[in-house]
Every structure is written in C-alpha cells, then in structure tokens.
C-alpha cells in the first residue's frame, strides 16, 4: 500500500514502474517535468501503465491536485539518460515531479496559478524533509538537454525562486553583439563550456561548440533567459550565466513554509 510522504498529497495512485534506490544514493535533486501529453488523465494512466516504463514520485494536476505515484524512498523512472554535476544516474538521486501541461508538441501553455502554488508547496516540503539544497531544483531539460525541453520557457522559475526554490538571477536584456554558435571553436568556447560545467551542466570541455554545447545553452536559456531560446551564446546569455556563477556559493536546504 502506498502511503503519502508529503502532507500536501491529495491522493495516491501506485505506479508499477519503480525500483530500489542504490544504498549509496540519496535524493538530493528535485527534477521538474511537464507531462507533454494531450490530457492530464492520459498522462497519469501512462505513468501508471507497466508497459510504459516511466513514472514519477508526484503528479500535479492543473487544479493543484497532488497525486503520489511512487514512494520517495524508491527510485522512480522519470529522468532517463542525462547528468548533473558529475552524476549520471539522475533517477537514483532525485525526486521526480510531473506537472500537467501539454507541452511543446500538443499546445504548450501557461501554467495555472493553482498548479504553481501546489508545485511550490510540494517542493518546499520535499526539500525541507530530505535536506535538498535550494539550487538542486532543476528542469528536466537541465539534466537531459539533448533530449528534453520540459518544463520549458513558460515555467515561472522566478516565482519559485521568490518562494525559496531553485535559483534565479535577473537575465541580461537581449541585444546585438558578439556571440558563439554551432561550429565555432577556440578559447572563448572553452571558457563558455567551463562556465556551464561549473554550474552543473553535463557538457564536455572540448573548445568546440558542438551539439551538446548548443543543447546546454538552450537548456540554460529556457531556465534563466527565457526571452529567446535558440542555443546561441549571445551577450545576454553569457552575461546571465556570469551573474548566476557570481551568486555562488548558493542555496541552503529548502525551508518548508506553512502553506496551509
């Protein structure tokens, strides 16, 4: 029987898709996703279908309902292949939260306020109980930039940050000027890759602006400079990344607030 781990869980619906966490792994990341399907019920059914091979710990509907599918102590199957700060097995070190939204393929739209309120309550609660650093609340696209776009550029990261979740800096205004893009190489590209890796992105330091570097830049833009997502390291993107790194060291564990 699946019992709620969070006081904010409205109901449970057990998914068959999970496994044991390795004994040497503890959840120190929260990964936020959008469901990317035509409807919330279809997404919930898929996450609980043994044939899908996917799941999450928590599912947040557009009306703010929070459903738990997998116990936090277990390893849900939500992140897939990726990496963050040298860790390649993201599923073993994370809590996965699926947020109902049709996504880019089926009519990407703004996230309702009730839904975001629920995301904030749940992240604060999980982060406090599990001692997850504030900076370790990430987008699926952050840890799997070559494969994923979610929760996307419409997700209100600034609002979460103001509530004590994740990181945010005021993005530099988009303007003209020097930029780096696919095919470029040299010391400036190496410095850019080093900055991305310093924050946590799983990018190789090659001095070549390759496909992975482009994907990491696009993921960074979705999260921190959503005004333009094109995978090009323009002045605005680079300055915003500098601001983020200058804010280090970052983030004590999330502190739960009495959200009612």
Going along the chain from its start, the domains and CATH numbers come out as 11-162 (3.40.80.10)
pLDDT in tens, 18-65: 999 999 999 999 999 999 999 999 999 999 999 999 999 999 999 999
Q: How far is CA 131 from CA 150, 205, 245, in A?
A: 24, 31, 22
Q: How far apart are CA 217 and CA 63, in angstroms?
A: 32
pLDDT exceeds 50 at position 187: yes
pLDDT value of position 175:
85
For the sheet containing 11-12, what is the strand order? Answer: 11-12, 66-68, 58-60, 94-99, 29-34, 137-139
Give catalytic residues, as residue numbers: 98
Q: How far apart are CA 260 and CA 252, in angstroms?
A: 23
pLDDT exceeds 80 at position 259: no
CA 92 from centroid of its chain's CA atoms:
15
pLDDT in tens, 156-170: 999 999 999 999 999
């Amino acid at each position: 029987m699946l019992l709620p781990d969070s006081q904010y869980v409205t109901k449970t619906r057990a998914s068959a898709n999970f496994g044991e966490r390795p004994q040497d792994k503890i959840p120190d990341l929260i990964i936020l996703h959008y469901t990317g399907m035509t409807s919330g019920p279809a997404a919930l059914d898929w996450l609980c279908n043994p044939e899908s091979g996917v799941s999450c710990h928590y599912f947040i509907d557009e009306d703010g309902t929070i459903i738990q599918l997998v116990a936090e102590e277990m390893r849900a199957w939500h992140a897939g292949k990726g990496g963050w700060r040298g860790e390649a097995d993201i599923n073993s070190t994370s809590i996965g939260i699926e947020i109902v939204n049709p996504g880019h393929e089926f009519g990407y739209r703004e996230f309702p306020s009730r839904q975001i309120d629920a995301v904030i309550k749940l992240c604060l609660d999980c982060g406090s109980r599990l001692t997850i650093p504030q900076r370790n609340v990430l987008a699926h696209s952050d840890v799997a930039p070559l494969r994923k776009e979610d929760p996307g550029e419409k997700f209100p990261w600034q609002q979460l940050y103001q509530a004590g979740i994740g990181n945010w800096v005021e993005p530099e205004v988009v303007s003209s000027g020097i930029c780096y893009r696919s095919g470029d190489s040299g010391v400036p590209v190496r410095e850019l890759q080093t900055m991305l890796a310093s924050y946590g992105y799983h990018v190789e330091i090659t001095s070549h602006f390759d496909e992975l570097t482009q994907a990491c830049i696009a993921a960074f833009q979705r999260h921190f400079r959503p005004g333009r997502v094109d995978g090009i390291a323009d002045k605005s993107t680079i300055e915003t990344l500098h601001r983020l790194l200058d804010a280090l060291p970052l983030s004590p564990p999330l502190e739960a607030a009495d959200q009612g």
